[in-house]
Structure 1
Amino acid sequence: MEQFEKDNHKRILAVQHAFGPPGSPLQSPGRILYGEGYLMKQGRKKWEQKVFFLFNDILVYGSILVKGSWYKKQKIVPLEDVKVEDMEDSEKYQHQWLICTPRKSFFVSAFSLDEKKNWMGHINSCKQELLQAGNRQPGSIYAPSWIPDNAAQKCMRCFAIFTATNRRHHCRKCGFVVCNQCSKQKGVINNIHPKKQKRICKKCHQKSRDEVTSDKRGVRVGRNSYEDEEGEESSDDEEMQGDIPSSWLDTQMGTWLLGDV
């Protein structure tokens, strides 16, 4: 067990150093790094390859600068706030599923069906063990997944055609692609950012007003335990899915394998 703890400490420290000074510290008592790998993540404009790390209490992901050694734009999500949903394959991407969190929900794609099953299974297993320990409560509020820009040629509210001047915007509350005229309103979305107003479409704005009128207490406040992600980050890395499988901690002895759940 002592050797396992040393190996685990070394692995976590390597991940922490890979994100450099801008990243948050990852060392924490009792934290175990269970797996890591590269997945395609759907952004606002395109799919991009990202690196993901699964710990026994958090999910960490970021953009790739140098594969295997240098990453940026670290995102940390408490595991109790993560929900995974199976999705059907698309024409371009296979082995997809949806990762839902209170502040951002997005589609990811693995390079094989086994890879997808392992990621979903390990996330669910780690989350279940975390909740059974009794010191965490599962999340209940999740952000909508954004509709990709290229999936909407018209505003999804007024149906005006998008042009070079009539640009696309996203409603932070429903994830729809809307025009500027239909998204001039702003509102506080508690599970995304309780202290900052975000762009929302006219329908969500009216719905929020109706909710406040019917319930003087307003919308319930969600947890805000990880950093906000305003929009989708840009990246020069357009590399498609590779043939490197994710690695998993198979036993407490510290063996890393592509294991089945």
Structure 2
Amino acid sequence: MDLLTFAKENRERIQAVENSFGPSGTPLSKPGRVLKGQGRLVKQGRRKPQPKVFFLFNDVLVYGSILLNGRWYQKQKIIPLEHMKLEDLEDGVVMKNQWLIRTQRKSFYVSAPSSEEKLAWMEHIEQCCLNLLQGGSCQPVPTLAPTWIPDQLAYKCMRCFKKFTTTKRRHHCRKCGFLVCNSCSKQRVVLGHIHPTKKQRVCSLCHTRNDEDEVHRKRGDSTGKSSSEEDDVAASSDEEDGEQDCSQSSWLDSQDGHYVYPKPMHLRH
């Protein structure tokens, strides 16, 4: 397969992904962007794990909720690979074959249907990240968002230890990811890696640490340890929608210079 043919088919594949998200999706076509593979993974949401469709490009990871299996998706999310770090994890009680995806603005657990697919996903993502670094397209980012603790794992506020009720609701601190009540998370601070100007909800402890860090910075205290070294920053979570079981992933495989890629379901006639 020559380069012109591959470029044409790659454009068609990317266009098919765009179409699958409908008019609410963000355009994905971009010079130099290549679709590497796609598949379904289970993503740990705030309330429970949910199947999601994932598309791996050479520079971004795109995922969304499943409306119609293999055809239509919604709630498109786009994560730049240059701000990504993967952490391998052992099997959990609920999620098997899982690993952690961490970025500046968002961190979350995902799991694959099998250990082989988990390995394939991690290897493909890490190779894309490495290619970006080698190409000088990005710089390592020291501050990464922590994962939010799922709602069902805490029945008490993790700061004041009072029980959550229908009126004393759960909230997430964007700085540590802990589940806290409204009384313990009334403060708002700007967390630059989440948003350059918009203030984010933080718990009382993280707010205190943030104030201490500001004092250290203003005093030019080079020995003061930044709270960002102790607590990574949480990112906003999605509203999760239940869908079907995960299916196998598909990848662009190089075989003697040729590429093999199954046609997306919504392009089949």
> Normalising to structure 1: TM-score of the pair?
0.90
What is the aligned partner in structure 1 of residue 230 from structure 2? none
Map 1:127-166 → 2, pairs under 5 A: 127-166=129-168
Task: Give, in angstroms, the shift of residue 256 of structure 1.
Answer: 2.6
Q: Which of 3, 6, 9 does residue 11 from structure 2 map onto? A: 9
TM-superposition CA deviations, 1:196-254 (whole Å, max 9, x none): 111110000000000001102998xxxxxxxx97432142x343x33x21000001522
Which letter does structure 1 place at the counterpart of 2:200? Answer: K
Q: Which of 41, 64, 67 does residue 66 from structure 2 map onto? A: 64
Unaligned segments of structure 2, at least 5 residues: 221-225, 227-233, 263-269
Which letter does structure 1 place at the counterpart of 2:134? Answer: Q
Which letter does structure 1 place at the counterpart of 2:259? Answer: G
Moved over 4 A (4+): none
1:61 aligns to what SS in structure 2?
Answer: strand
Q: Which of 247, 250, 253 does residue 250 from structure 2 map onto? A: 247
| 8 A contact 1:103–1:229 mirrored in 2 | yes
Q: Which of 231, 238, 244 does residue 232 from structure 1 map onto? A: 238
TM-superposition CA deviations, 1:160-187 (whole Å, max 9, x none): 1111221111101110001111111111
1:40 aligns to what SS in structure 2?
Answer: strand
Of the two, which has the highest radius of gyration? 2
Task: Give, in angstroms, the shift of residue 74 of structure 1.
Answer: 1.0
Map 1:35-54 → 2, pairs under 5 A: 35-54=37-56
1:172 aligns to what SS in structure 2?
Answer: coil
Map 1:36-115 → 2, pairs under 5 A: 36-115=38-117
Which letter does structure 1 place at the counterpart of 2:251? Answer: W
Alignment RMSD (CA, Å): 2.1
2:133 aligns to what SS in structure 1?
Answer: helix
Q: Distance in 1 between matches of 2:74 and 2:171?
A: 25
| 8 A contact 2:145–2:235 mirrored in 1 | no
Q: 1:28 to 1:68 in 2, by over 3 A?
A: same
Task: Give, in angstroms, the shift of residue 6 of structure 1.
Answer: 1.2
TM-superposition CA deviations, 1:122-164 (whole Å, max 9, x none): 0000110111112322322211100000001111111111112
| 8 A contact 2:174–2:235 mirrored in 1 | no
Which letter does structure 2 place at the counterpart of 1:117? Answer: L
Q: 1:217 to 1:56 in 2, by over 3 A?
A: farther
Q: 1:199 to 1:217 in 2, by over 3 A?
A: farther
> Normalising to structure 2: TM-score of the pair?
0.87
Q: Distance in 1 between matches of 2:237 and 2:115?
A: 29
Q: Distance in 2 between matches of 1:21 and 1:83?
A: 31
Q: Distance in 2 between matches of 1:16 and 1:175?
A: 32
Unaligned segments of structure 1, at least 5 residues: 220-227
| 8 A contact 1:184–1:199 mirrored in 2 | yes
Q: Which of 181, 184, 187 does residue 182 from structure 1 map onto? A: 184
Q: 1:48 to 1:134 in 2, by over 3 A?
A: same
Which letter does structure 1 place at the counterpart of 2:11? Answer: H
| 8 A contact 2:65–2:240 mirrored in 1 | no
Q: In percent, how many aligned pairs have the same letter?
A: 54
Q: Distance in 2 between matches of 1:48 and 1:120?
A: 19
**Number of paired residues?**
248
